[in-house]
Structure 1
Amino acid sequence: MGHDPEMEIDSLWNEYGEVFREFDDLTLARWMAQTLGQLRGRVWRLSHPLVGCYRLAARTANERQVWLKRLVVVPADYPESACCRAPVLPLLTRDVLQCGLGCLHCDGTAVPLDELPPDLLPMITDWAEQYEKVHAVAHWDQAQQSSVADYDQEFDAAAEKAEELLSLAGRVLAPRLLELYPAVVWEDQDECLEVQPEDIKL
């Protein structure tokens, strides 16, 4: 019987999240507010364990609409997101052209692309367009693969370029976003190109 990797990962995350589902709403809200305070003032890898824990809590909080209940005082410098009214904790990913800055709470769009400052928008747009071309190599069909002398070599070159671009996101783009938001998370892996967080050097 075949295995669906995405379903297996979802099942694992569901298991990880049990601890937060055992929290009552007030305890969950307090934990998240305190963690937002710890996240403040830095850019964070998406793979960071603290961010992973927060994402698990955020999933449960979104299901229960905890932020709408106003149970705790949110750290003052976190604005309210338009997508789900949770505190804005933007996520920079390679899908920024299509989705803007992602929301860690509801997986929607925390900040639409056109709301970014005019001096920052071209930098992020250029980065995302470059990444789109690099990432596409992982999804070449048979005809495209046959059009080059050595597809494995093309794949490896694309993976190396992806590492450079993801590093750029962490070193340059995310810190620029930190000038606008109290904390920023950036995607530091590309499973399609077999790029892992440990491959991204800052």
Structure 2
Amino acid sequence: MSTNSESPLDRLWKEYGSAFRDFDDLTLARWLAQTLGQLSGRAWRLSHPLLGAYRLAAQLAHERQIWLKRFATPPAAYREAPCCRAPLLPLFTRDVLDSGLICQHCSDTCVPFEEIPAELQEEVRSWAQEYSPLHAIAHWDDAQRQGAADYDRKLDESADDVEGLLAVAGKRIVPRFLEHYPAVVWEDQDECLEVRPEDIEL
């Protein structure tokens, strides 16, 4: 039975993930290793169906400690993540300044911001600092909303600006990480501003 704390979306993803629970440890490890090979060489949208499947399998593998058991060997280009020792597949999000790059296996920080390659830090910092106040508008309190001449219009304008920034991340910033990682994932939506993946055109 689902708990009250689970959203309908959480329950749906749990249903999706049940397919991987039928895999034994060896089958799961081999599927992950093979899929990592398919992911190599590209910057992937977080919303991509293949990434969705990989994340579900990776989270289950983390629960079972698959990578620690060495059932399968990942492609050589993937080094070990310091957070959980799974292959390093980083996620770039709007919270990169505070959270760094996020591990797709354990959801912890796998690359702190200060360890992001130096030649990328300035551009990433500038992008995140431009993004943050736009995202914050979705979380204004009543006093801030009432102080705006037209809050709904400002919210819509912020969403439009965020669409542009996410497109910049997907087209220009994140692909540069491929010089340092075999594959990288980027967050292509902002649920608070109701910016959806299909709104981001590359």
Please tell me the TM-score bracket, short chain as reference: over 0.9
CA distance in 2, matches of 1:9, 1:129: 30
CA distance in 1, matches of 2:36, 2:123: 27
TM-fit CA distance, 1:5:
8.8
Pick closer, same or farther for the CA change 1:61–1:189 going to 2, 3 Å.
same
1:42 aligned partner = 42
2:91 aligned partner = 91
1:157 aligned partner = 157
Deviations 1:37-86 (A, max 9, x none): 00000010000000000000011000000000011111000000000000
TM-fit CA distance, 1:178:
0.9
2:167 aligned partner = 167
Aligned letter for 2:150? D
1:33 aligned partner = 33
**2:63 is equivalent to residue 69 of structure 1:** no
CA distance in 1, matches of 2:21, 2:125: 38
CA distance in 1, matches of 2:36, 2:119: 27
**2:142 is equivalent to residue 142 of structure 1:** yes
Counting matched residue pairs gives 199
CA distance in 1, matches of 2:6, 2:160: 25
2:104 aligned partner = 104
Pick closer, same or farther for the CA change 1:191–1:5 going to 2, 3 Å.
farther
Aligned letter for 1:157? E
**2:126 is equivalent to residue 115 of structure 1:** no
CA distance in 1, matches of 2:178, 2:7: 34
Pick closer, same or farther for the CA change 1:200–1:79 going to 2, 3 Å.
same
TM-fit CA distance, 1:128:
0.9
TM-fit CA distance, 1:116:
1.3
TM-fit CA distance, 1:140:
0.6
Aligned letter for 2:155? F
Aligned letter for 1:91? L
1:188 aligned partner = 188
CA distance in 1, matches of 2:105, 2:18: 17
TM-fit CA distance, 1:110:
1.3
Instruction: Provide runs of 4+ in structure 1 moved above 6 Å.
Output: none
Question: Unmatched 5+ residue regions in structure 1?
Answer: none
Q: 1:155 aligns to what SS in structure 2?
A: helix
Question: Unmatched 5+ residue regions in structure 2?
Answer: none
Deviations 1:80-107 (A, max 9, x none): 0000000000100001111100001000
TM-fit CA distance, 1:179:
0.9
Taking structure 1 as the reference length, what is the TM-score of the superposition? Answer: 0.96
Taking structure 2 as the reference length, what is the TM-score of the superposition? Answer: 0.96
CA distance in 2, matches of 1:167, 1:105: 25
Q: 1:102 aligns to what SS in structure 2?
A: strand
Aligned letter for 1:177? F
CA distance in 1, matches of 2:47, 2:116: 24
Q: 1:119 aligns to what SS in structure 2?
A: helix
CA distance in 2, matches of 1:157, 1:131: 13
Q: Identity over the aligned pairs, expressed in percent?
A: 61
RMSD value, Cα: 1.1
